[in-house]
Structure 1
Amino acid sequence: MPILPKIAEYAEELTAIRRDFHEHPEIGFEEVRTSGIVTELLRKWGIDEVHTGLGKTGVIGVIKGRKEGARMVGLRADMDALPMDELTNLPYASKTPGAFHGCGHDGHTTMLLGAARYLAETRGFAGRAVMIFQPAEEGLGGARAMLAEGLFEKFPCDEIYGMHNNPLAEPGKFGVKPGPAMAGATFFDITVNGVGSHGAMPHHAKDPIVIATALVQNLQSIVSRNVKPTQPAVLSVTQIHSGSAYNVVPDKAVISGTIRYFEDEVRDLVHNRLIRLCAGFSESYEVEIVPDLRPIFDVLMNDAGLAEAYREAASEIVGVENATITEELVTGSEDFADMLKVVPGAYCTLGHKGTLPVHNPGFVLDDDILPVGASIMARIVEKRLPL
């Protein structure tokens, strides 16, 4: 792969940076050490402007091109780790219990740092490049926090690009889907407030476990019987919490899960059906059932023209045969979607060696991806802001 020569020169340094991030993971809005290192490196490499504290722990770097220009192109990477333990046995494995870069955000941050260093050294573009290091992507609303604090009012990008590693694709395989590409997501908690009793006298209870398990079965009918088969959607119950003793019927049960969708009308339909089922069960069992639905991620929409521009830039790094436009929908979610609702752009995936998916405790990021991703990010800036 024709990695940009300057980036190839500091590939080993990028690996060292990434492994340091990996060894010291920080979960959302707690990326103090990570953002501090990012800030220090940006200043060391001569980035023209470095702004900190946007979205609590976010960092922005602005690089001026060799020529003045009115246009601004944004590049974004996420910095947070997952709240889970690591089981890789790597020599640089997480030293923080309950925190692990199991999604590769340490790699995303490092790739953007590599692109920033290259662009600051070469400045082969006209206008300004904006490096956005975002906190709290993993369901905590980091993108929305940055937007609420005026991200694009302060740094009015004309277009923006992001990237995610993909251990299940061939190494160096770039993919981008025009239009809807990743699912929107709602997280939900449903609280069943029943009546407890002695476990030997259930006739005195209104058993929330019985009610909750029946409700779970009915929730599974929403996608299969209410949503059109041609409109993809997923409803998954992922948690049921109730009880504390063998001989006590508890008075409460909580059902939690997620809804994924690619159209707002499907989201609204599923939300409404869930709420109505809760109301029906509440009346039937004479208990209070309280649904709490929280839309966390929007549908990620890639601009068709900018997706093609991204592919063309990537083809110069990974080869035309490895830079593809895909039609595959991804039911996972990504809060870069919030930024794309404000500024047009595109989000891609980049394959690397690996056998386990992200969010697995044994996931390992291949460091060979770092100079490749950095080169693609740098190249899209040069192509979109030509001298």
Structure 2
Amino acid sequence: MPALPEIEAGTAELETIFRDLHAHPEIGFEETRTAGIVAEKLREFGFDDVHEGVAKTGVVGILHGRGQGNRRVGLRADMDALPIQETSGLDYASQNPGRMHACGHDGHTTMLLGAAKYLAASRNFDGTAVFIFQPAEEGLGGARGMIAEGLFQRFPVDEVYGMHNQPTGQPNRATICKGTAMAGASFFDITVTGKGSHAAMPQQSRDALVTASALVGQFQTILGRNMPALDSAVLSVTQIHAGSAYNVVPETAQIAGTIRFFKPEVRDLMQRRMREICAGFATGFDVSVDVEFREIFDVLDNDPALSDEWLAAAADIVGQDNVSNRSQPFTGSEDFADMLQVIPGAYGNLGHAGTVPLHNPGFVLDSAILPVGASIYARLIERRLPLEAA
């Protein structure tokens, strides 16, 4: 079956919620409208408790099943959008300039709301379901913020699950990678300070832009000449800023970017070599080079046994032929990893039509997966908190 019948029957409502969220995207820690809609819906569905303002804009809903069991299972969805100008051409495209749900978090939120409505009506489980609507997944530390505010002390769970859409062109294909599944990430900011001059007399300068440009190329040698051959990593310079005039050699230049890794020791190696290269260039070019690293995402590790449970719930909905545990580790990052550092759980992917990649201004989430994802979330609760027959 493509979805639980009760959830399938509510597809039109899910579509309405999704389109509204898509048209009104909000970036991290600014999801006030989105959080308000989530909290209103949970109360409308009859949730036992709804808590707002967790890590500024996070929402947590508590739902008790018909049984009296003590086990508690968490389900998590992210709510934030990206600072991207949408070019999808959808009739429900973003109405907020420079803001877009280019990663499908509007769909994730809608799917979890679909599961919430179904489970609130049936309560066909024994124990407590904890619904976590997280802000600021896109590199701003929403998961860490919720954890720091006592998420799992205030709302304890025994295990926690998440899900991400994947524009693979394979609708309803559910996949998971057991163990190490997604990369950790550091962001870096590097400032080169030299001496400015007239562009016609560059010999009077210590050119920060030339130094910065050379650093960009030199960093790539770390992967080819310092990284063990069997380890995987990514180093991407994504920003370089310098200068403000045609006839001025700039005094400063800024470089920014990210490194991705699957082992902390690989991260440490990359950061050490970047610092050493910067120190060498500072001496060689007679400039100063300041380096700052920020740890943004942990490595995401799926519990192997709970990965099987996620797949079993998905198989109940999409069929055994449409699930796979052979997904390969992915160099993208996801801050659900922070929750998995505290609570065991699993994070899977659900394929849908369309192949425009995530974080692209033309990305379109296929809304046909909304009842499918909602049903997988619901089945996770029913399977992990089974209600004993009377």
TM-score by shorter chain over 0.5: yes
Task: Show the counterpart of 1:45.
Answer: 45
Q: Mapping of 1:222-261 within 5 angstroms?
A: 222-261=222-261
Task: Show the counterpart of 1:363.
Answer: 363
Rounded to whole Å, the distance in 2 between the matches of 1:337 and 1:145 is: 13
> The residue matched to 1:37 in structure 2 has which SS?
helix
Rounded to whole Å, the distance in 2 between the matches of 1:292 and 1:2 is: 48
Rounded to whole Å, the distance in 1 between the matches of 2:173 and 2:342 is: 28
Task: Show the counterpart of 2:320.
Answer: 320
> The residue matched to 2:367 in structure 1 has which SS?
coil
TM-fit CA distance, 1:285: 1.5
Rounded to whole Å, the distance in 2 between the matches of 1:376 and 1:67 is: 21
CA contact (8 A) 1:2 1:316 kept: no
Task: Show the counterpart of 1:160.
Answer: 160
Task: Show the counterpart of 1:11.
Answer: 11
Aligned length: 387
TM-fit CA distance, 1:2: 3.7
CA contact (8 A) 2:175 2:327 kept: no
Task: Show the counterpart of 2:76.
Answer: 76
1:25 matched to 2:20 = no
* AA aligned opposite 1:341: Q
CA contact (8 A) 2:196 2:251 kept: yes
Task: Show the counterpart of 1:104.
Answer: 104
Task: Show the counterpart of 2:114.
Answer: 114
Task: Show the counterpart of 1:295.
Answer: 295
* AA aligned opposite 2:298: D
Rounded to whole Å, the distance in 2 between the matches of 1:198 and 1:172 is: 60
> The residue matched to 1:230 in structure 2 has which SS?
coil
TM-fit CA distance, 1:89: 1.2
Deviations 1:20-57 (A, max 9, x none): 00000000000000000000000001011100000100
Rounded to whole Å, the distance in 1 between the matches of 2:231 and 2:115 is: 38
> The residue matched to 1:360 in structure 2 has which SS?
coil
CA contact (8 A) 1:169 1:350 kept: no
Rounded to whole Å, the distance in 1 between the matches of 2:348 and 2:326 is: 10
4+ residue segments displaced more than 4 Å: none
Rounded to whole Å, the distance in 2 between the matches of 1:365 and 1:199 is: 49
TM-fit CA distance, 1:355: 2.3
CA contact (8 A) 2:196 2:207 kept: yes
Deviations 1:158-187 (A, max 9, x none): 000000000125100000111110110111
CA contact (8 A) 1:143 1:335 kept: yes
TM-fit CA distance, 1:280: 1.1
TM-score by length of 2: 0.98
CA contact (8 A) 1:177 1:302 kept: yes
TM-fit CA distance, 1:327: 4.0
Task: Show the counterpart of 2:135.
Answer: 135
TM-fit CA distance, 1:229: 1.6
* AA aligned opposite 2:178: P
* AA aligned opposite 2:104: G
TM-fit CA distance, 1:9: 1.1
Unmatched tracts of structure 1, length 5 or more: none
> The residue matched to 1:130 in structure 2 has which SS?
strand
Identical aligned residues as a percent? 61
Please, which moves more after superposition, 344-353 or 282-291?
282-291
1:58 matched to 2:58 = yes
Q: Mapping of 1:267-286 within 5 angstroms?
A: 267-286=267-286
CA contact (8 A) 2:263 2:299 kept: yes
* AA aligned opposite 1:152: F
1:193 matched to 2:193 = yes
Deviations 1:59-100 (A, max 9, x none): 000100111111110000000000010001111100000000
Task: Show the counterpart of 2:92.
Answer: 92
Task: Show the counterpart of 1:309.
Answer: 309
Rounded to whole Å, the distance in 1 between the matches of 2:334 and 2:124 is: 31
> The residue matched to 1:368 in structure 2 has which SS?
helix
TM-fit CA distance, 1:287: 1.2
Rounded to whole Å, the distance in 1 between the matches of 2:224 and 2:191 is: 24
What is the Cα-based RMSD across aligned positions, in Å?
0.7
Q: Mapping of 1:198-213 within 5 angstroms?
A: 198-213=198-213
Rounded to whole Å, the distance in 2 between the matches of 1:310 and 1:71 is: 17
Rounded to whole Å, the distance in 2 between the matches of 1:38 and 1:364 is: 22
TM-fit CA distance, 1:208: 0.6
Task: Show the counterpart of 2:381.
Answer: 381
1:149 matched to 2:154 = no
CA contact (8 A) 2:186 2:293 kept: yes
Rounded to whole Å, the distance in 2 between the matches of 1:222 and 1:326 is: 30
